[in-house]
Chain A
Amino acid sequence: DSGVTQTPKHLITATGQRVTLRCSPRSGDLSVYWYQQSLDQGLQFLIQYYNGEERAKGNILERFSAQQFPDLHSELNLSSLELGDSALYFCASSVDPSSYEQYFGPGTRLTVT
């Protein structure tokens, strides 16, 4: 158990819908990262937050957004869902951006039908 929790574990929804994925980092970790793992794109970095502020963006679609709240949990919002958004979404956390180790949550499996 990495100490990072993600909810829900599985999510099945229809095209055009909107979903919210939630992540609670390890106690004491200020940085949160979101990654997407799909058959087409592999594992790719989406977005990074540090202590409530967006710090870096990767290959995140405009239909996707995220935020980190004062209690440091983070949410990834996916809207106007398409079939190609079906993927495993990981959250990871670290003490800060300079920490070499990121602790991954178990992931949320999103299926868009």
Chain B
Amino acid sequence: AQTVTQSQPEMSVQEAETVTLSCTYDTSESNYYLFWYKQPPSRQMILVIRQEAYKQQNATENRFSVNFQKAAKSFSLKISDSQLGDTAMYFCAFRANYGGSQGNLIFGKGTKLSVKP
């Protein structure tokens, strides 16, 4: 069974600074996706960024980038130039790409990020 661990329950960062959220996972699968989802106070789940396990290049989406270390099973999210609107819960998620569990997202417990003015 796959597990996702986020070891930082809460973090804070000053506006315009950079912050890194940590995530580790455990799986015996070789073909999978990893995701970071954002959940603002509105509770809507918003996809921030995804990484395919077969790709060595780290994914980037504007101010958001990941550091994917496959051998270490580590998947951290870096937010650059933090903005007040980045204040939210951030969830790391795993998804196998084949088999009966294909499609199902396995989530970590989340990290509550506060961006301070």
A and B assemble together: yes
Q: Which residues of A contact B (CB under 8 A)?
A: 2, 31, 33, 35, 42-45, 48, 55-56, 58, 88, 90, 92, 94, 97-102, 104, 106-107
- Give A91 Cβ to nearest chain B Cβ, in Å: 11
Given A94-B103, A100-B50, 20 more pairs with CB closer than 8 A: A31-B103, A33-B103, A33-B104, A35-B105, A43-B91, A44-B107, A45-B106, A48-B104, A55-B103, A56-B104, A92-B105, A97-B102, A98-B102, A99-B103, A100-B33, A101-B47, A102-B105, A104-B46, A106-B43, A107-B43
Q: List 30 A-B contacts (CB under 8 A).
A: A35-B105, A42-B107, A42-B108, A42-B109, A42-B110, A43-B91, A43-B107, A43-B110, A48-B104, A56-B101, A56-B102, A56-B104, A92-B45, A92-B105, A94-B103, A97-B103, A98-B102, A98-B103, A100-B33, A100-B95, A101-B47, A101-B50, A102-B47, A102-B103, A102-B105, A104-B44, A106-B43, A106-B44, A107-B43, A107-B44
Number of A-B contacts (CB under 8 A): 54
Q: Which residues of B contact A (CB under 8 A)?
A: 33, 43-47, 50, 52, 91, 95, 97, 100-110
Contact A98-B97, Cβ < 8 Å, known A33-B105, A35-B105: yes
Contact B104 A88 (CB under 8 A): no
Q: In the complex, what residues of A have CB within 8 A of residue B52's CB?
A: 100
CB < 8 Å: which of B44, B50, B91, B103 contacts A48? B103
Q: In the complex, what residues of A have CB within 8 A of residue B43's CB?
A: 88, 106-107
Q: Which residue of A lies closest to B107 (CB)?
A: A43
Contact A56 B105 (CB under 8 A): no
CA distance A99 to B109 in the complex (A): 24
CA distance A101 to B61 in the complex (A): 15
CB < 8 Å: which of A2, A45, A55, A107 contacts B100? A55
